[in-house]
Amino acid sequence: MKIPVILNQKKIVLEAEPSEKLLVVLRREKLYSVKCGCGKGLCGDCTVLLDGHPVPSCTIPVGMVRDCKIITLEFFQTFPIYSDIISGFAQAGIHLCGYCNAGKIFTAYEVLSTYYRPDREQLYSAINMFDCCCTDRDTLANGILYAVAAKHTREGRHKNVKK
Amino acid sequence: MKNIVPDAKQKKQSTKISFQGDFYSDLTMDNMLYGAIVRSPAKTGIITSISHGNLPDGYYLFTARDVPGSNLIDTPLGKVPVFSEGNISYFGEPLGILVGPDEDKVYELLSEIEIVFDTNTIESYLKSFEEEYKRPVLSLPGSNDSRPNAAEIVEITKAMNLDAAPLSADSIVREHENAEKYSLSNKLEQDMFSSVIAHRSIEKGPCFVADGNGVVPGLKSVFNNASFVVEGSWFDALHTPAYTEPNGAICTFSGEYLTVYTPTQWLSNIRQVLSTALAVNPEKILIKKTNTTNHGTNSIWYNSIIACQAATAAFHTGKSVKLVYSRDEQEKFMETMLPITIAHKTALDASGKILAMQVNIDLDAGSSNPFAQEILDRLVIASCGCYNPLNMSVSATAFRSANPSSSIDLQLIDTAAFFAVENQLNEISLLSGLTPAEIRKVNIMQSNGDRCSMPFAFTIEKPSELIDALVKVSDFNRKYASYHLDAVLRSTQSEASLFEAPLRGIGLSCGFEGSGYYGSGIYSSDETMEVTLETDGTLTIHSPPTSASIKEIWEQTVSKLLNIPPESVRINSEFDSHEEPFLPESIYCNISIMTVLLKKCCESILRKRSDAVLPLTVKKSITAAQKMSWNSETFSGTPFHSTSFASGCVEVELDPCTFREHIRGIWVVINGGQILSARAAESTVKLCIQKVLASLVCEEAISCSNIHVSFMQSESDATQIGELVYQVLPAAYTQALTQALGCTINTLPLRTDTLYNRICDKTALEKARILSKTTAKRAEDLDKNEFELQPVSKRS
């Protein structure tokens, strides 16, 4: 079956069975930032941005993503907000293990793009959505808060303040 | 992501190993074939043939007879086959490897493989189906005939697909939830394939010494004269779900040279095993070690067998072969934790001092397990925890069974022993009237020179102070007393009060983590650190790759001692084959041993720097005297290079409607010597707590937002603290549940409905008790009013 999608901002047609997992199809496209973890949507290793929101690609049949926008970590690295997240993580002492990077980074992205200044509850409800294999929740929360600060610095902290 | 082309340079460097920054599952090669393992559909029986009627071109099936060298690999506890030679040892045992260019097609063909069993053994393996699947008794095909049709039997075996898990933590718990009624040894003795593969027993104490009359009093006399005797059985099959890269390998032959990309954790072992199985000179095997994210488990040693399986296919096809275990295979065959049952009998005097501890440990080791003896030994060492009983008798036995090898995690090897002894202490505290903190302080080993009757010497600093600190920070005594009163009131009041909120409980537990075990029969403690001060003033540490936090700690340590900038410190992880790291990766205790050795190297460089010519290389290892502090013959002495100590506390509340637990708080106090990086240490402990919480209930991660981690100040050398939480939290958790429920929880992991079932059992018991009381009272009344009641009875 031919499934048209916008993958990393390029219009392409995926050749796959509609019931195949998006994870499998993306790895076949040699997008290896999408890792195979639990296969149950718990661990976050296979996270991608689907129409701007992080989703576990292991629980999504590829037939459901027709005409959707998919962004993987390979392409996300070109976004300025990626640098904010990485610098925030570094400040918090988070070392990326390589296997659950997508889960951590896209979770941070979701928080950063949803809330201007996330509170503790918002932060932890986003973090609790996945089971990170290498970083504890408090450290990850700190990393996201540092990333928020880095984003504000880059965008200009007072850009919305009326003169 | 990466397409690797083996080049001429690799051939020249073929005696070397190297460390890749990639995951092997992300690597591809030109004309690469994908492999899948053909597995036994039954747990016993003899296989006569494995075949596929119509394999397409380019697809191949290889079995034991295709292994170019020896199919049987020597291990300390017997031989392990690369592929089964016909006699099946466990459900899912590898029979062969199917390879082909299309991964999906390989898995499609895998389900069409025909496996023919010897009909003489058919009865036994059909019975095994019944046991595994809990399905009705199968009648043999053509049962009217004395010889059943083999083809029909194959149809049955094919119908029994592998999807239904034969063994999982959940099924183990279902089967054995009530550990008091469960006896592993009895069960295994009934299994015709079981046998003892390892044993260790030790007795120590004055009761084992002959008195003036030449009579050895023995433990029985101590138990007979004790003020209290407490007995309990504890059952542990904890398994932490790890969703990291599954095991596997990519193997490719280029002329005489074999190149292997794999996340091995034991470089010297994989070279030796590959050399034996493939009949290749070890010097001609190039190991490319890829990223390892899943430390521990059977991956430590079984990865070498997996590499042999892929290399066999690569040898015959002349192409690169990639074998990646599925998540299901990883969980069933690499990470399965088989049950450990520990029975305790403890004698106490009136003051709560432990007079004697009798411990019996039963371990299901699986079909083969090279680490069985070491697992037993470590369980025996930890069996009395950090306490100092006057007399002790420990007997531990590992049984062979028709299950996959029990997973081995060298860091968590003794967790079951702590779970048992700490829960036993809780039972003792209930009986003796002392609080859990007091009973521990009365019996804990002291480092102030008190005479220790244990055969094992540990250095545990200030244990009583640490327990006091925990009690203070968690407000343990007040909460414990309050919840205890609640529990007593609930049990003495009416039946309805059993379910009155709040159902709360709090548990306390202690444990140690030993690092650098001197008694291993598989590897010796040969940790070595080599440091070179280069001509340009930089410093090179020759070591296998380390984590980022260890690297940071080492840079800071070197910088402080030698007064050089941290940027000038680099880690060189290139090794020639003759000097490759000998030990399994998880044995290197980077904080406790390697950092101490690094400090010694730096001190030595500091002394020699003024006179010596650069580059100056210094090498330090664990000294012979340190190793000799453990006596393997008598099984006594100092078993570990260093020991850290921790105490933890868990407070829970049960939802009165759903009976699901809510963890109100976790407090952990650790004495891990000097803390080299407070941030990294706290983060490590919190991550470990997260993992423990994920392992306590099958297929459900409990969360807790109120976690407090504290470290005792100490100037002694840093020790490993990474896995300490595994020794303390499980027991504290079950103790808290025990107090909240009013009935003993002696099994881990739990299931989501365990607590509800326990309450139902308890309610049924209460009803039975009330009924029996009422009946007894009636009988008494009847006796008293016999003459009055008789006519009534007659009327009725």
| B440-474 pLDDT per residue, tens | 999 988 765 454 567 888 778 888 999 999 999 99
Q: Which residues of chain B have a CB within 8 Å of the CB of A42?
A: 243
Tell me the average pLDDT of chain B. Answer: 81
- Out of A35, A95, A133, closest to residue B548 by CB: A95
Q: Which letter does DSSP use for residue B367 in this model?
A: S
Q: Which residues of chain B have a CB within 8 Å of the CB of A45?
A: 243-244
| CATH-assigned architecture of domain A80-155 | Orthogonal Bundle (1.10)
Confidence of residue B589 (pLDDT cuts 50, 70, 90): low
B100-141 pLDDT tens trace: 999 989 999 998 999 988 766 666 556 665 565 554 434 444
Confidence of residue B383 (pLDDT cuts 50, 70, 90): very high
Decide if pLDDT at B189 tops 50: no
Q: Tell me if chain A has a CB within 8 Å of the CB of B329.
A: no
More confident residue, B372 or B591: B372
Of B68-72, B290-294, B333-337, the range with the lowest mean pLDDT is: B290-294
Task: State the smallest CA–CA distance between residue B228 and chain A in angstroms.
Answer: 43
Residue ranges per structural domain of chain B: 2-164+257-319, 171-240+336-441, 528-621, 754-795
Of A4-13, B456-465, B508-517, B557-566, the range with the lowest mean pLDDT is: B456-465
Interface contact B686-A131, CB threshold 8 A: no
Confidence of residue B571 (pLDDT cuts 50, 70, 90): confident
Question: What is the per-residue pLDDT for B296?
Answer: 64
Domain with CATH 1.10.150.120 in chain A: 80-155
Mean pLDDT (whole number) for B72-84: 85
- Out of B293, B689, B705, closest to residue A133 by CB: B293
Q: Which fold has domain B171-240+336-441?
A: Aldehyde Oxidoreductase; domain 4 (3.30.365)
Question: What is the per-residue pLDDT for B154?
Answer: 44
**3-state secondary structure string, B154-169?**
HHHHHHCCCCCCCCCH
Interface contact A37-B701, CB threshold 8 A: no
Nearest in space to B644 (alpha carbons), one of B626, B671, B684? B671
Interface contact B23-A99, CB threshold 8 A: yes
Q: Which residues of chain A have a CB within 8 Å of the CB of B547?
A: 95
ipTM of predicted assembly, 2 dp: 0.90
Q: Which residue has the tokens 């941005």?
A: A49
Task: State the smallest CA–CA distance between residue A9 and chain B in angstroms.
Answer: 19
Question: What is the per-residue pLDDT for B174?
Answer: 43
Decide if B2-164+257-319 and B528-621 have a common fold: no
Rounded percentage of chain B residues whose pLDDT exceeds 90: 36
Question: What is the per-residue pLDDT for B794?
Answer: 35
Q: Which spans in B433-532 are helix H?
A: 436-443, 463-474, 476-492
Q: Which fold has domain B528-621?
A: Aldehyde Oxidoreductase; domain 4 (3.30.365)
Domain with CATH 3.10.20.30 in chain A: 2-72
Task: Report how far residue B323's alpha carbon sits from residue B292's, in angstroms, rounded to the nearest whole number.
Answer: 16
Residues B11-23 as b or e (16 or more Cβ within 10 Å = b): eeebbebebbebb
Q: Which residues contact B355 (CB under 8 A, 6 or more apart)?
A: B222, B226, B347, B348, B349, B389, B390, B391
Q: Which residues of chain A have a CB within 8 Å of the CB of B242?
A: 133
For the ranges A130-134, B482-486, B733-737, the one whose mean pLDDT is highest = B733-737
Q: Tell me if chain B has a CB within 8 Å of the CB of A129.
A: no
In CATH terms, the superfamily for domain B2-164+257-319 is Aldehyde oxidase/xanthine dehydrogenase, a/b hammerhead (3.90.1170.50)
Q: Which residue has the tokens 């080993």?
A: B445
> Which regions of chain A are under pLDDT 70?
157-163
More confident residue, B33 or B141: B33
Task: Report how far residue B15's alpha carbon sits from residue B575's, in angstroms, rounded to the nearest whole number.
Answer: 9
In CATH terms, the superfamily for domain A2-72 is Beta-grasp domain (3.10.20.30)
Task: Report angle CA B299, B302, B304 to the nearest 5 degrees.
Answer: 105
Q: Which residue has the tokens 């690797």?
A: B4
Mean pLDDT (whole number) for B418-441: 93
- Please report, for chain B, how many H helices and E strands are present, in that order: 22, 31
Q: Which residues of chain B have a CB within 8 Å of the CB of A43?
A: 243
Decide if pLDDT at B147 tops 80: no
**Would you call the peptide bond into B502 cis, given omega within 30 degrees of 0 as the criterion?**
yes
Task: Report how far residue B648's alpha carbon sits from residue B470's, in angstroms, rounded to the nearest whole number.
Answer: 7
Q: Which residues of chain A have a CB within 8 Å of the CB of B325?
A: none
Question: What is the per-residue pLDDT for B222?
Answer: 93
Mean pLDDT (whole number) for B400-413: 80
Confidence of residue B752 (pLDDT cuts 50, 70, 90): confident
Question: What is the per-residue pLDDT for B796?
Answer: 28
